[in-house]
Amino acid sequence: MFKRKILPIILLLLVIIVSSQKISFINNTLSYYVNLQLVLIFLFVISDENINFNRGLSLFILAIVNDSLNGLFFGSSVIIFFIIYGLANYQKNIKVRTIFLSEWIMFSVSLTISYVVFILIQYLSNNNIFYKTLLINYVFTVLIYPMFWIIFHKLIYKNN
């Protein structure tokens, strides 16, 4: 119950609200390099068959909180979060057993789609788009995925 219903929501909420802490040796914040929210959504969905964020409702509310805190137009995070969520569900449904590589590739694909949509949203919002920042964030988010995959599959949801 806790691992399936409460832990995903609490962890995701904490990642969304906790202030970005600067890491001195990289001269920037961790959230500038890694989009932890998207990694968590994908991994929670893929790690346990019964995690569904209350049929998506909790994820919707968390996305609105994220929009509010980051000053984005409402709905922006809903679209991005649900692209990741939908594709993770698709991957979960087609797999017979856990294969790290196929999940990693699927994560990269879903991240690519969500970032393309994010660029479109930024364009529609009349905001400047910083491709270099997005590319750095994309690369580091993809690279950090294996580390979180190990934590999720070997520690948190090891019985699944």
Partner 1 sequence: MRDTSFGSSFSIKSFVVYILIGFTLFFVDRYNTKYFSFFRQSINDAIVYSIIIIKSPFYGVNYLIKSSQKLFDESIQIKEIDKIKIELESQKKLNLVLEKQLEDLKKIVGQERYIYQSSIAKVISYKNNIYTNSIILSKGSSQNVQVGDPVVFKNNLVGKIVEVNSFSSRALLITSRQSRIPVRIGDQKYNAILTGSNDKKNNLDLVFLPKEYKLNNGDILYTQSIEGTLPDGILVGTLVIDSKENFYIDSSFDFNQLDLVTILHLQKKKE
Judged by the rule CB under 8 A, the positions of this chain that interact with partner 1 are 13, 17, 19-22, 27-29, 31-32, 35, 49-52, 55-56, 60, 63-65, 68-76, 78-79, 82-83, 85-86, 89-90, 92-94, 118, 121, 124-125, 127-128, 130, 133-134, 137
Closest CA relative to residue 87, chosen from 63, 64, 105: 105
Give the SS3 label for residue 29: strand
Nearer to partner 1, 15 or 156 (CB): 15
Cα 86 off chain centre by: 12
Give the SS3 label for residue 98: coil
Task: Give least dist CB 149 to partner 1, A.
Answer: 19
Nearer to partner 1, 11 or 155 (CB): 11
Nearer to partner 1, 40 or 83 (CB): 83
Rounded Cα–Cα distance for residues 41 and 145 (Å): 12
Task: Give least dist CB 20 to partner 1, A.
Answer: 4
Task: Give least dist CB 50 to partner 1, A.
Answer: 7
Task: Give least dist CB 78 to partner 1, A.
Answer: 3
Neighbours of 62 (CB within 10 A): 23
| Structure-token pair, residue 49 | 């068959």
Rounded Cα–Cα distance for residues 58 and 86 (Å): 14
Nearer to partner 1, 135 or 150 (CB): 135
